[in-house]
Chain A
């Protein structure tokens, strides 16, 4: 025993190095790097017993419930996969985690397996080489997705390129309480006049919020006379021609806003609180289904109604993406496939669950399933998605959005 200790003391350095190495040497990846070369059945087998850490915006209880309970149960029962939903405040937080891991050289054992993502955040991931691509055509439910639709094949003007799977369609709509506000403004032009006759009754979240930013973009479209000259890559001359008109509109509205425009709600949740506390008369959201959910929860009055603008409202698709360094890619792919299945899309289209518009092409489903979608009841507070879709405006390339948000901050907020 004493000889062993003496030996250990003599070779402390070597033992220390050996110990350190055995702990820090990366464990051989459980999955082969060429997962894209495997067949779907092999991927399902490999996914068994796996865990999926899905980082998604956690600001809506009904969505959290749907994901954790319904999706989680389906995954556990059918595929023996454990779903770990991680609620975050801002998708950029998840992107930051993957970014930090890449900078630290963590290329195989990442903390994030899936992110609910679109737009600028997706662009950051694609730009930084942070996203796993090339697996989408392996998913059996990929046949239900209409990749010919430009608004699905392009995420805010950036080609998806097999790097993400569509999950929901969303289209911006306004909401109001018809017992308090019998005649809400139905277009941006009408809104500009409306705030003058109804001071302090309207506000919008700051441009840092997703929904606030899209409202500002509606004003931008109005100032530009339509989105046509704004589509495509960022054009500084066009921006410099249109922006001053948009800032003038917003600055003219400013003194008639809530708190005389001295501050704006930080997030859409704040605006929701203001609306349900009757501090403001109008609310809006990318996801009109939330109006119905809130009425059912008792947060909004039953006299809540919603509408789209006469000139149209912006619509987009949101997706799920798998980071390049996820250690559970097989399980994540199985999850993404489940999300795009008829059962999952139908379940979340139910108005008391979420009421979210499906990202799959309903026309590609068999007749019986199509009928089920059509027969779905709709909460009277939620405007019909088909009606909204008649006047859908496209999203802009993220560089436009960045310029608009920055311009708003400098010209209107300050």
Chain B
């Protein structure tokens, strides 16, 4: 059988899944967002849902909150991951154990981590009870609010806890592809430790760091379960807003839910595009 056919056949299963399920779902969602829902008689395509969303202050506050959570989580995770990767690069006593501990929470689902955050950091949680034991607080309300709070501390904590090993592992793998000779050369030429890091190591790991942080940003931007479990009601993160509209008893709210989902998708696509542009600028071959 000619080569083209064989390639097409081998690619067919993956392409069918992506084109059929994913693209199909995207197209259907887009149609719904344009108010095309024959079941309850909405047959005329219009942009009402988008107008309603983009003119509601609730949407912008949710957008701001989602961006804030994603940005802070990604920034803190990147800094901590780079630090962790630099340390784990060396050899020291007990390295296998530390390596294992560093990676162990990669297998823990986000949901389980969120329950853990609730258990530890809520105002009647473990740390609050410890503080009560040591007479630091008198009632639950005295403990600082870290879950269901406006600064989304619990959510950011959960994301950082989960994403630091993720980015760290990518960086470690990245660092193994080039030798330490570059830094050694820089140091021998008189560069300080910070200069050696800033001008030699950082540019080398930047592609991996950028790609990992884009993944983390896009994920935290579109994730539903963590803000749903640990977040405030209002403003809620964008995916929570979309889901609330989707499960609204009123069927007519569905187009707005789909419109929100389309906006989140567009934002994520924008981020990926932004990454590709950035990567081209910073990657030196």
Q: Which residues of B contact A398 (CB under 8 A)?
A: 249
Report B206-233 residues with CB < 8 Å from chain A CB. 228, 232-233
Chain B 70-107 per-residue mask, 1 if CB under 8 angstroms from chain A, else 0: 00000000000000000000000000000000000000
Report B138-174 residues with CB < 8 Å from chain A CB. 140-141, 145, 148-150
Q: What residue in chain B is nearest A200 (Cβ atoms)?
A: B141
Q: Say yes or no for B39: interface residue by CB 8 A criterion.
A: yes
CB distance from A55 to the nearest CB of B (A): 14
Partner of A90, one of B37, B122, B150, B247: B247
If A262-B232, A277-B124 touch, does A96 touch B39 (CB 8 Å cutoff)? Answer: no
Chain B 240-281 per-residue mask, 1 if CB under 8 angstroms from chain A, else 0: 000010111111000000000000000000000000000000
Interface residue count on the A side (C-beta < 8 Å): 33
If A123-B249, A124-B249, A263-B233 touch, does A208 touch B244 (CB 8 Å cutoff)? Answer: yes
Q: Say yes or no for A394: interface residue by CB 8 A criterion.
A: no
Beta-carbon contact of B124 and A103 below 8 Å: no
Q: What residue in chain A is nearest B141 (Cβ atoms)?
A: A200
Chain A 237-279 per-residue mask, 1 if CB under 8 angstroms from chain B, else 0: 0000000000000000000001100111110000000100111
Q: Say yes or no for A341: interface residue by CB 8 A criterion.
A: no
Q: What residue in chain A is nearest B240 (Cβ atoms)?
A: A266
Q: Say yes or no for B127: interface residue by CB 8 A criterion.
A: no
Q: Say yes or no for B66: interface residue by CB 8 A criterion.
A: no
Q: Tally A-B pairs: CB < 8 A.
A: 65
What CA separation (Å) do A383 and B57 show in the bound complex? Answer: 43
CB distance from B55 to the nearest CB of A (A): 14
CB distance from A265 to the nearest CB of B (A): 8
What CA separation (Å) do A277 and B124 show in the bound complex? Answer: 6
Mostly, the A contact residues are: helix
Q: Which residues of A contact B145 (CB under 8 A)?
A: 259
Most A CB contacts (10 A, CB to CB) among B148, B233, B247 go to B233
CB distance from A283 to the nearest CB of B (A): 14
Beta-carbon contact of B124 and A121 below 8 Å: no
What CA separation (Å) do A266 and B241 show in the bound complex? Answer: 12
Q: Which residues of A contact B246 (CB under 8 A)?
A: 96
Q: Say yes or no for A109: interface residue by CB 8 A criterion.
A: no
Beta-carbon contact of A262 and B124 below 8 Å: no
What CA separation (Å) do A132 and B244 show in the bound complex? Answer: 27
CB distance from B224 to the nearest CB of A (A): 12
Partner of B249, one of A121, A200, A278, A413: A121
Q: Say yes or no for B199: interface residue by CB 8 A criterion.
A: no
Q: Say yes or no for B40: interface residue by CB 8 A criterion.
A: yes
Q: Which residues of B contact A200 (CB under 8 A)?
A: 141
Q: What residue in chain A is nearest B125 (Cβ atoms)?
A: A277
What CA separation (Å) do A365 and B232 show in the bound complex? Answer: 49
What CA separation (Å) do A47 and B97 show in the bound complex? Answer: 59
If A200-B141, A259-B145, A263-B234 touch, does A279 touch B124 (CB 8 Å cutoff)? Answer: yes
CB distance from A331 to the nearest CB of B (A): 27
Most B CB contacts (10 A, CB to CB) among A90, A96, A259 go to A259
Beta-carbon contact of A277 and B140 below 8 Å: yes
Q: Say yes or no for B123: interface residue by CB 8 A criterion.
A: yes
CB distance from A193 to the nearest CB of B (A): 20
- List 22 contacting pairs A-B, 8 Å CB cutoff, sorted by A: A90-B247, A92-B247, A96-B246, A99-B39, A99-B251, A103-B37, A120-B249, A127-B40, A127-B251, A206-B233, A208-B244, A258-B141, A259-B148, A259-B149, A263-B233, A265-B148, A266-B228, A278-B124, A278-B140, A402-B249, A402-B250, A413-B234
